[in-house]
């Protein structure tokens, strides 16, 4: 039987406040799953319940054939990498990595052998005798990852593991996490509020909002076909188009900008350029009119400079009907 992770009707209440509102989902073995949503949406609470660090108010969690509800974190088949890494400051790297094996009663010789193997896996050879305070943020993350993996979990739980890193290191570590997950072929469940991070890493993404699942699918499907206005807005790269009482999502890179040469066109709006943001090889143009506020258009920088657009200029935004995606609910 596969070690799929399944959540059935999970609820979590803190007093009268219901943080998780009956979430049911199935994560296939070997997936890289990102739990994605704004602060307070319940993603960390959900992760901690899977780990066994928080009690479930209602519902069940299964890993393969095992019901996890009443099992301690140590015997669930999961391991958690915390947001602040939670390394023991008084222990050297080697002892931090091997700590769980010591608790399990493994001999000192075998502990060292296993720890050196995982230290090598995360490319931290030569740092075995250093203390956490002697490590950079990226190095601490690698050691925390080695410590989480050394117990050979079926599911690795990561709570915003890249949030404390600088942008360049974050991109590098994304690549390494993805490669490691493929090589180990175990399930990763990664909590993040970063849309870019989820789109880059996940084989399946779960978008959460106010304790409920808004959408679960592969990242490409979520980006191209968001189910709701919330998903469209949160994932980014879209505008909401109104046609009567119906709302559609339209990708910002499927919109043309041009000089006004006609009074009106179907699927077009006259707008004024409110701002221009240079984003490396891309440019975002922010526009307004009486119907739409903060309407975004993105294009290649070469195309933008060719058009010679200026802040305050009135332009015509146009799009093709085939690029509109009807939202299932608001």
Indicate whether 214 and 265 sit together in one domain: no
Indicate whether 110 and 207 sit together in one domain: yes
Q: Which of 224, 249, 281 is the last residue of a domain?
A: 224
Q: How far apart are CA 253 and CA 300, in angstroms?
A: 9
Q: Which of 167, 192, 224 is the last residue of a domain?
A: 224
Question: What is the pLDDT at residue 85?
Answer: 82
Contacts 24+ apart (CB under 8 A), 219-227: 219/34, 223/199, 224/251, 224/325, 225/249, 225/325, 226/325, 226/327, 227/327, 227/328, 227/329
178 vs 33, 150, 157, 162, CA distance in Å?
A: 11, 18, 14, 13
Indicate whether 265 and 146 sit together in one domain: no
- State both tokens at 174: 């994304």
Residue 11 lies in a domain: yes
Indicate whether 103 and 23 sit together in one domain: yes
Indicate whether 154 and 269 sit together in one domain: no
Question: What is the pLDDT at residue 261?
Answer: 60
Indicate whether 104 and 215 sit together in one domain: yes
* CATH number of domain containing 115: 3.40.50.300
CB atoms near residue 239 (< 10 Å): 21
Q: What SS3 state is found at 176?
A: helix
Cβ–Cβ < 8 Å for 250, 241: yes
Indicate whether 52 and 125 sit together in one domain: yes
Cβ–Cβ < 8 Å for 205, 216: yes
pLDDT tens per residue, range 135-180: 988 899 899 999 999 999 999 999 998 887 888 888 888 998 999 9
Residue 235 lies in a domain: no
Residue 233 lies in a domain: no
Indicate whether 213 and 285 sit together in one domain: no
pLDDT tens per residue, range 273-296: 999 999 989 999 999 999 999 999
Question: What is the pLDDT at residue 126?
Answer: 93
* CATH number of domain containing 322: 2.40.50.100
- State both tokens at 87: 């390394």
Which structural domain, as residue segments, surrounds residue 127?
A: 5-224
Question: What is the pLDDT at residue 43?
Answer: 94
Q: Which residues lie below 8 Å from residue 156, measured CB to CB, with a gap of 6+?
A: 78, 79, 80, 81, 148, 149, 181, 186, 187, 188, 189
Indicate whether 217 and 245 sit together in one domain: no
Residue position matching structure tokens 């609820």: 11
Residue 231 lies in a domain: no
Strand order across the 295-300 sheet: 256-258, 314-318, 268-279, 282-288, 295-300
Indicate whether 157 and 266 sit together in one domain: no
Q: What is the pLDDT along the chain (330 residues), one digit of tens a residue?
A: 689 999 999 999 999 999 999 999 999 999 999 999 999 999 999 999 999 999 999 999 999 999 999 999 989 999 999 878 889 999 999 999 999 999 889 999 999 999 999 999 998 999 999 999 999 888 998 999 999 999 999 999 999 988 878 888 888 889 989 999 999 999 999 999 999 999 999 999 999 999 999 999 999 999 999 999 999 999 999 999 998 889 999 999 999 998 766 554 568 899 999 999 999 899 999 999 999 999 999 999 999 999 889 999 999 999 999 999 999 876
Q: How far apart are CA 27 and CA 25, in angstroms?
A: 7
Question: What is the pLDDT at residue 264?
Answer: 47
- State both tokens at 15: 């007093």
Length of the chain: 330
Indicate whether 244 and 116 sit together in one domain: no
For residue 71, with 0-12 CB atoms within 10 Å meaning exposed, 13-18 middle and 19 or more buried, which class applies? middle
Burial 301-326 (b: 16+ CB within 10 A, else e): eeebeebebeeeeebbbebeeebbbe
């Amino acid at each position: 039987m596969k070690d799929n992770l399944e959540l059935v009707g999970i609820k979590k209440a803190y007093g009268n406040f219901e943080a998780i509102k009956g979430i049911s989902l199935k994560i296939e073995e070997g997936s890289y799953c990102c739990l994605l949503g704004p602060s307070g949406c319940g993603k960390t609470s959900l992760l901690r319940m899977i780990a066994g660090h928080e009690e479930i108010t209602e519902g069940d969690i299964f890993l393969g054939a095992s019901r996890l509800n009443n099992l301690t974190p140590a015997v669930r088949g999961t391991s958690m990498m915390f947001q602040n890494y939670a390394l023991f400051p008084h222990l050297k790297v080697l002892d931090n990595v091997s700590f769980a094996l010591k608790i399990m009663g493994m001999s000192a010789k075998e502990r060292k052998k296993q720890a050196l193997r995982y230290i090598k896996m995360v490319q931290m050879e030569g740092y075995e005798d250093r203390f956490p305070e002697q490590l950079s943020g990226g190095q601490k993350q690698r050691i925390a990852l080695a410590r989480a993996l050394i117990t050979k979990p079926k599911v690795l739980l990561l709570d915003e593991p890249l949030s404390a890193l600088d942008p360049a290191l974050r991109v590098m570590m994304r690549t390494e996490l993805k490669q490691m997950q493929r090589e180990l072929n175990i399930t990763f469940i990664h909590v993040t509020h970063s849309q870019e991070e989820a789109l880059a890493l996940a084989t399946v993404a779960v978008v959460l909002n106010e304790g409920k699942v808004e959408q679960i699918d592969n990242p490409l499907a979520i980006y191209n076909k968001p189910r709701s206005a919330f998903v469209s807005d949160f994932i980014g790269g879209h505008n909401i188009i109104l046609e009567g009482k119906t709302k559609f999502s339209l990708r910002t890179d499927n919109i043309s900008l041009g000089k006004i040469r006609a009074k009106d066109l179907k699927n077009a709006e006259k707008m004024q350029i409110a701002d221009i943001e240079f984003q490396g090889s891309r440019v975002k143009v922010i526009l307004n009119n009486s119907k739409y506020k903060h309407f975004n258009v993105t294009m290649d920088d070469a195309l933008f400079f060719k058009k010679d657009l200026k802040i305050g200029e009135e332009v015509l935004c146009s799009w093709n009907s085939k690029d509109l995606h009807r939202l299932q609910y608001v």
